[in-house]
Amino acid sequence: MSAQKSNGNGSRHKRAKRGGGFRRFLRRLAGLAVLLALAVLAAGWWAWRSLNEPYSGFSGERRVNVEPGASGLAILATLDREGVIRDARLARLWLLAQGDPALQAGEYLFRAPLTTPEALGKVIRGDVIAHRVTVPEGLTLEETADRLVLARLGDRDAFLALMRDPKPIADLDSRAEDLEGYLFPDSYTFAADTAPKTIVEAMVANFRKRWRTEVAPKLPADGGRTLREVTTLASIVEKEAKAATERPLIAAVYANRLERGMGLFADPTIIFALKRLGRWDGNIRKPDLALDSPYNTYKYAGLPPGPICSPGTGALAAAAAPADVPYLYFVSKNDGTHVFATTLDEHNKNVATWQRRYWRERRAAERAAGSPGAPSRRSP
């Protein structure tokens, strides 16, 4: 009887011992869970802080080029390497939490400091560097290409190859041999990675729009001149007229001469011919007046074969609807404006007043100052 009681007490002792061990295990497990939870909270806090604390691994600003076709991981690695984001792995987790939006190719400008979401937001939206370029009126193809190159929009040879292809304007001007005159002068904004073809097509599209909305409505109802003829005349007006108010008057002088079969005697056409020959040095000399070029309007009557530059809306509108005046001549007053005349006698008097006397006085002043005289400016 006593032995059985002893065995009962031993069993209870063993059960109690096992129960205490299990409770200790649970306490340890709970402790580990707390430690793990704290670690997760700490890691989450560190990740949140790393993502949302403004960061910059560079000073000032940094340009980063994201290549087309690059994977998201490669882009994040580039941003990490360039010091734009703190940690590419955390950035990847943030993107996944946002639904893994696509990252856009292009050239980006980052200024310190930005949070990771702010930096990635630029690349998600495609906020690439925008290059603004102003192409003024009166530029040739070559000069326009140079402007685009200065704006870091592409290679000069690539632009010129596209500009010498008339296809984008062929439906409006079947005689066009290139895009001279049809690259509309304006201010443009393009992304840094915009293809040269897209840029050239945008400039031609702008010409088409301006022609349709601002020039064509001014043409006479009976048709008048063709688009090519109007643009060619406008390109000459663009080079001659410095004052906007004189464009319709200068267009009228040339239109009146064309109607009478007179030579245009337009210096800008000779300059254009000399530029094409690589011989333009800033001065027109007497032998140049005999240059055998269809663009020499001193030698050949009528309009030259095509535009000599890209005219703006003002010159195009003036060429489409010249002023109703009888003028056949004009001469520069050497201040950006001109004096107009109907007869040759009147014109010669104006030349004597505004040109010969001006240059005589100027050469006298230059001789007195010890500098060589400048060549005179001809007039129609």
pLDDT at 123: 94
pLDDT at residue 234, as a whole number: 98
* Mean model confidence pLDDT for the chain: 87
Q: Which residues of 195-224 are buried (b: 16+ CB within 10 A; e: fewer)?
A: ebeebbeebbebbeebbeeebeeebeeeee
Phi/psi for 28 (5° steps) reads -65, -40
| pLDDT number for residue 372 | 46
In 3-state terms, what secondary structure has residue 140?
coil
Q: Exposed, middle or buried by CB within 10 Å (0-12, 13-18, 19+), for 362?
A: middle
Mean pLDDT calculated for residue range 187-199: 91
As a whole number, mean pLDDT of residues 253-275 equals: 95
By the 8 A CB rule, do 81 and 58 touch?
A: no
Domain ranges of the chain: 61-125, 130-215, 221-369
Highest mean pLDDT among 74-88, 219-233, 275-289, 314-328: 314-328
Question: What is the per-residue pLDDT for 186?
Answer: 96
**Mind listing the pLDDT tens digit for each residue in 124-175?**
998 888 889 999 999 999 999 999 999 989 999 999 999 999 999 999 999 9
* CB-based contact 241:254 (threshold 8 Å): no
What is residue 278's three-state secondary structure?
Answer: coil
pLDDT at 374 over 50: no
Q: Give percent of the chain with pLDDT exceeding 90.
A: 63
Nearest-angstrom CA–CA distance, 322 and 374: 33
Query: For the residues 297-326, what does the mean pLDDT come to?
Result: 96
Between residues 138 and 334, the one the model is more confident about: 138
Give the model's pLDDT for residue 370: 62
Residue 202 has phi, psi (to 5 degrees) of -65, -40
Say whether pLDDT at 56 is over 80. Answer: yes
Residue 4: the pLDDT is: 52
Q: How many CA atoms lie within 13 A of 353 on its CB side?
A: 14
**Confidence tier at 12 by pLDDT (50, 70, 90):** low
3-state percent helix, strand, coil for the chain, nearest multiple of 5: 55, 10, 40
Angle at the Cα of 259 (from 377 to 331), degrees rounded to 5? 20
Overall CATH class of domain 61-125: alpha beta
Per-residue pLDDT, 299: 94
Q: What is the mean pLDDT of residues 13-26?
A: 62
Classify burial at 51, counting beta carbons within 10 Å of its beta carbon; exposed 0-12, middle 13-18, buried 19 or more: buried
Q: What is the pLDDT of residue 7?
A: 56
DSSP letter for each residue of 20-79: HHHHHHHHHHHHHHHHHHHHHHHHHHHHHHHHHS-B-SSSSEEEEEE-TT--HHHHHHHH
Q: What is the pLDDT of residues 280-291, one digit of tens each?
A: 998 999 999 999
pTM: predicted TM-score of the whole model, two decimal places: 0.74
Q: CA-CA distance, 147 to 294, in Å (whole number)?
A: 28
- Give the per-residue pLDDT at 21: 67
Q: What percent of the chain has pLDDT above 70?
A: 84
Which of these ranges, 30-44, 97-111, 197-211, 254-268, has the smallest mean pLDDT?
A: 30-44
Q: Which residue has the tokens 């001549």?
A: 329
Give the pLDDT band (50/70/90) at residue 47.
low
Asked whether the predicted pLDDT for residue 267 surpasses 60, the reply is yes
Q: What is the pLDDT of residue 31?
A: 65
Segment 250-279 shows an average pLDDT of 95
